C-alpha cells in the first residue's frame, strides 16, 4: 500500500515561512490535498489538487508537488496557524491515504 | 454552504454495534454528484478512511474494516449512517462524516462534520 511520510513537527517564528513536507514514492504523479486540524476541531481543507485553495483560505497557504515530495507552504505565519497538518492522496488501488500529520508550532 | 453533523451514542459496549448518523444541511444528498463518507481518528492519532456511499446506495469500504462496516443512506431525511459491528476498544475514536469531492483521478474530503467521540467500554 502507498505510504505518505510527514515530519512529526515543524517550528517557525511568527511572520516567517513554514514548509511542511509530505513524502511518497513518485508523489509528483498524484494529486495531493492538505488539511489543517486545530485541537478539538475537525480537519479543514486548506489546499487541494496540489496547489488550489478553497474559498476562504488565505493566500498565505500554498502547495507544490514534484518528484517524491509535496510541500505545504504557509507564508507570514500567524499564531492562529498553529495546528496539525495532514497530507492526503487518492488512487484507485490505495483509496484514500493520509500522512501521519505534522504539528506546526508557532514560537 | 453544505454542513454535516454527526449524531449517535458516545459509549458502546464491547462486541456490540456502533451506530452513527450524519445529517446533511445546505444541500441534498439525492441531487447526486458527490459521495458521502465516514472517517475516524483514534485518540492522538492520524486519520483513517472507513467507507463511502452514493445517493443511489452504492457503497465502498476500507478493506481493513469491510467485514464489520455497513453504510446506508436515507435520502428522505438527507442523512447517511454508519454501523460498525463487533466493536472493541480499538474502535474508540472520533468519527467524522464528510463529503467526497472528486476530480480527474483524485478525491478529497470537504467539508467535514464536527466529529463525535465514540468510546468502546463496558
What is the predicted pLDDT for the residue at B31?
Answer: 87
Which residue among B46, B49, B96 sits closest to A42, beta carbon to beta carbon? B96
What is the predicted pLDDT for the residue at A91?
Answer: 82
Closest CA to A100 of A23, A30, A31: A23
What are the residues whose beta carbons fall under 8 Å from the beta carbon of B30, sequence distance 6 or more?
Answer: B55, B75, B78
Nearest CA in chain B to A85: B46
Distance CA B87, CA A44 (A): 28
Whether residue B103 is predicted with pLDDT greater than 90 in this model: the reply is: no
Q: What is the mean pLDDT of residues B89-114?
A: 95
Partners of A85 in beta bridges = A36, A102
Give pLDDT tens digits for B8-24. Answer: 999 999 999 999 999 99
- For the four alpha carbons of B57, B76, B100 and B103, in that order, the dihedral sign comes to positive
**Interchain CB contact of B65 with A (< 8 Å):** no
Distance from the Cα of A83 to chain B's closest Cα (Å) equals 13
What is the predicted pLDDT for the residue at B12?
Answer: 98
Q: Are A68 and A23 in contact (CB under 8 A)?
A: yes
Closest CA to A105 of A2, A8, A11, A29: A11
What is the predicted pLDDT for the residue at A35?
Answer: 98
CB contact under 8 A, A91 and B105: yes
Distance CA A56, CA A45 (A): 10
Secondary structure (DSSP) of B68-97: TEEEEEETTTTEEEEEE-S--GGG-EEEEE
Distance from the Cα of A21 to chain B's closest Cα (Å) equals 16
Which residue among A31, A86, A89 sits closest to B46, beta carbon to beta carbon? A86
CB contact under 8 A, A30 and B106: yes
Q: How many CB atoms lie within 10 A of CB B30?
A: 11
Give pLDDT tens digits for B23-74. Answer: 999 999 988 889 999 999 999 899 999 999 999 999 999 999 999 999 999 9
Q: What is the pLDDT along chain A (107 residues), one digit of tens a residue?
A: 899 999 999 999 999 999 999 999 999 999 999 999 999 999 999 999 999 999 999 999 999 999 999 999 999 999 999 999 999 999 888 889 999 999 999 99
More confident residue, B105 or B98: B98
Q: What is the mean pLDDT of residues B93-107?
A: 93
- B/e letters for A49-59, b = 16+ CB within 10 Å, e = fewer, are bbbebeeebee
What is the predicted pLDDT for the residue at B21?
Answer: 98
Q: Are B67 and A56 in contact (CB under 8 A)?
A: no
Amino acid at each position: 500500500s502507498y505510504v505518505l511520510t510527514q515530519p512529526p513537527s515543524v517550528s517557525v517564528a511568527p511572520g516567517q515561512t513554514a514548509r511542511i513536507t509530505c513524502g511518497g514514492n513518485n508523489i509528483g504523479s498524484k494529486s495531493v490535498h492538505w488539511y489543517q486540524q486545530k485541537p478539538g476541531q475537525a480537519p479543514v481543507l486548506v489546499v487541494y489538487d496540489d496547489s488550489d485553495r478553497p474559498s476562504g483560505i488565505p493566500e498565505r497557504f500554498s502547495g507544490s508537488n514534484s518528484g517524491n515530495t509535496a510541500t505545504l507552504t504557509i507564508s507570514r505565519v500567524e499564531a492562529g496557524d498553529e495546528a496539525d497538518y495532514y497530507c492526503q492522496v487518492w488512487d484507485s488501488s490505495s483509496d484514500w491515504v493520509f500522512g501521519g500529520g505534522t504539528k506546526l508550532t508557532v514560537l | 454552504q453544505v454542513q454535516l453533523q454527526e449524531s449517535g451514542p458516545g459509549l458502546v459496549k464491547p462486541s456490540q454495534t456502533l451506530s452513527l448518523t450524519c445529517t446533511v444541511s445546505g444541500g441534498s444528498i439525492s441531487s447526486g454528484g458527490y459521495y458521502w463518507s465516514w472517517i475516524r481518528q483514534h485518540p492522538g492519532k492520524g486519520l483513517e478512511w472507513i467507507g463511502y456511499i452514493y445517493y443511489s446506495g452504492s457503497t465502498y469500504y476500507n478493506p481493513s474494516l469491510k467485514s464489520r462496516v455497513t453504510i446506508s443512506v436515507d435520502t428522505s431525511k438527507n442523512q447517511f449512517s454508519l454501523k460498525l459491528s463487533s466493536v472493541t476498544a480499538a474502535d474508540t475514536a472520533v468519527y467524522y462524516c464528510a463529503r467526497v469531492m472528486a476530480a480527474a483521478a483524485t478525491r478529497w474530503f470537504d467539508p467535514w462534520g464536527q466529529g463525535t467521540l465514540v468510546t468502546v467500554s463496558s
